[in-house]
Amino acid sequence: MYTYMDENEIFFLRIARWLLVRLSLLIIVINGINHLNNGKIPRGIIELIISAGLVAVDIFVIGRAIRKRKKRMKDPDYLEKQRNMSPVENMKREAVLTIVIGIVCLLVCFGLFIIVPIVIHVNDLALCLILGAFLTVAASIPLICGIRAYKDPVAVIKRREKKRPVTSRRATLYKDYELGFEPAQEQYCRQTGKSDDELTHDDEQMIWEYAYAQITYLVAWIAEHGFYRAAEGDDPYLAELVGKIKTREILPSSYISENDGTLFEDNIKDSAVGFVKEYMSNSEYVNGHEVAKKGDIIGAYFPEVEAFAKEYLNAEMFGFRFRWEDYDVFKAHIDEAYAKYKAKNAVSKKKV
């Protein structure tokens, strides 16, 4: 499940091996033998030397890369690292693969349809050059797309989400889109005195804890009250995580991280989904702060988290990590909001 990028890399490495190396090797070997037979010894020897170089590239470069990827796909530590990769990290890795594919396509098109015809003096050289130029331009498209995706992975993720068929979309209650990482990193560096270049892998893991902390209180409350439900097609592993959150074996940020920074509406039971939606949407982001909307009756989750962080934790938003002792204090806000929501609904039903 978490090795699809490795499988794609192996697939395209094999394509590159056949198109860029082995096909070129076959052409150059045949051409070199013909030159030797025709008495053009120096040229034939040069082409055979080039052929030997291509054999070395086939075995020791591309072959080694394929073997390396096959081996690491069986490594538990590597699989765990893949599991913990964020959507943006996955998108950047996909972009790098697309860039490499674009470069390979350019080399193949330029080499097979421009360089090789010139070297072997084909009869229809003009036609080959025109075809080669066209294919080279076409091959540059994945390269350009890959560079754009690497520069702005969040935009690509959002664009793909919009293009998904309506029937396959899931209503999203919370989606980070990696937007919390940068402010969390700033807060973390300010607290620790470290610069961006000094951050270790453990530091980055802690920064993700900071980035997801704003939603973790609500995730913990949902798990604690048994309001979570597994949706059709969900990875069973997510339900296991929620069970461990309920017993406080792990932090609620683990669920958000494993679910690509997302909390979906259909993962909340009907008895609580209306409350969660209203409670989370009762605020707006104004001048860098969460502010409750006018007319709010039950409360507004994000402004309450921001106020709690400032007053109780002496921290800014994205400047703290989840702790169970802090949750035990904050959950009173959620319980109070839920009670107000139920009371409001009860009054509405009586009027009806």
Q: What is the pLDDT of residue 294?
A: 84
At 255, is the pLDDT very low, low, confident or very high (cuts 50, 70, 90)?
very high
Instruction: Supply the pLDDT for residue 105.
Output: 78
More confident site: 248 or 92 = 248
Q: Which two tokens stand for residue 7?
A: 């499988």
Residue 85's pLDDT is what? 66
Query: Tens digit of pLDDT for each residue in 71-127?
Result: 887 777 776 676 666 677 778 888 888 888 888 778 777 777 777 777 667 677 788
Give the per-residue pLDDT at 234. 87
pLDDT band at 161 (very low <50, low <70, confident <90, very high): low
Poorest-pLDDT segment among 198-202, 275-279, 328-332 = 198-202
Q: How many CA atoms lie within 13 A of 179 on its CB side?
A: 11
The tens digit of pLDDT for each residue in 224-245 reads: 999 999 988 888 899 999 999 9
Q: Where are the beta strands (DSSP E) in 167-304?
A: 172-175, 262-264, 283-286, 289-292
The C-alpha R_g of the chain, in whole angstroms, comes to: 28
pTM over 0.85? The answer is no
Long-range contacts from 105-114, C-beta under 8 angstroms, 24+ separation: 105/139, 105/142, 105/143, 106/136, 106/139, 106/140, 106/143, 107/20, 108/16, 108/19, 108/20, 108/139, 109/135, 109/136, 109/138, 109/139, 110/136, 111/20, 111/24, 112/19, 112/23, 112/24
The contacts of residue 25 (CB under 8 Å, 6+ apart) are: 51, 54, 55, 58
* Mean pLDDT within 13-26: 81
Q: Which DSSP string do the residues of 94-143 spell out, in sequence order?
A: HHHHHHHHHHHHHHHHHIIIIIHHHHHT-TTHHHHHHHHHHHHHHHHHHH
